[in-house]
Amino acid sequence: MGQKKLQRFAEIETFPNVLIYPEGMQGKWHEHFQNNHPLTLELACGKGDYTLGLARMFSNRNIIGVDLKGNRIWRGAKTALDEKLSNAAFLRTQIDKLNNYFAPGEIEEIWITFPDPFLRQSKAKKRLTHPKFLQLYQPLLAPGATINLKTDSAELYRFTQEVIAAAGCTTIEDIADVYAMPEVPALLRIQTYYEGMHLKDGRTIRYLKFRLPEAPIDWRSIKLPSDEALSGED
């Protein structure tokens, strides 16, 4: 590991806005933020571009960027400290361990911005909009909570449309080309580092906003047209 990465790993351990595999946080995020504002998560946040953008826009919300890679989290956390964004924090952990850190009904909104689409069929269950992840998110979400996906991947976009339909979710917004809109909403004008690169390459940016069903999701019972090859896997 390079010296710069080692230095950043050491630094984030001292940052008050970074929590690294914390214990006893379920239901206690209001103590960290010292308010009762609703929680929004950015999953696989990378450098935290959306975490920062949302925190700047919504002082009455607490935004938490979640990622495993401390070197990336360092950048977002450092910017948040420099800008005194007290409503932005970063959680270093695996996304499939979210239920170790959040209580039922504690999360008001999830953003998934330019995640790895895991295009190989054998990796489909790693997609953050796979029914397996929706089942993980469901008990942690407050009533009426929403999930947002912003991606340049046509495959992940279509896959998520399939999941929404098969899992009984409710589509709130479905935008096949964000920047073809006459006026792009402020929320969607926030750009991540990767989005900037994709736009320079002329790629289309897609967006989905949806709500999970009230009935409990059993991911193993959901069959997707593009997922049938996985039916025999664990």
DSSP per position, 66-128: EES-HHHHHHHHHHHHHTT-TTEEEEES-GGGGGGT--TT-EEEEEEES-----SGGGGGGST
pLDDT at 234: 38
pLDDT at 93: 97
**Closest CA relative to residue 13, chosen from 90, 84, 98:** 90
Say which DSSP state 173 is in: E
pLDDT digits (tens, 9 = 90+) for 7-51: 888 899 999 999 999 999 999 999 999 999 999 999 999 999 999
Q: Which helix (H) or strand (E) holds 33?
A: helix 29-33
Catalytic residues, by residue number, are 116
Q: Rounded distance, CA 230 to CA 234, Å?
A: 8
Q: Rounded distance, CA 71 to CA 191, Å?
A: 20
Q: Rounded distance, CA 228 to CA 222, Å?
A: 10
Q: Rounded distance, CA 23 to CA 34, Å?
A: 18
Query: Residue 192: exposed, middle, or buried by beta-carbon count in 10 A (0-12, 13-18, 19+)?
Result: buried
| pLDDT band (50, 70, 90) for residue 1 | low
Helix residue spans in 127-203 (DSSP H)? 131-137, 154-166, 186-189, 193-200
The residue assigned the tokens 């967006």 is: 207
pLDDT digits (tens, 9 = 90+) for 68-118: 988 899 999 999 999 999 999 999 999 999 999 999 999 999 999 999 999
Task: Name the more confident of 226 and 202.
Answer: 202
Instruction: Say if residue 231's pLDDT is above 50.
Output: no
pLDDT at 227: 56
Residues whose CB is less than 8 angstroms from the CB of residue 186 and which lie 6 or more positions away in sequence, other chains included: 57
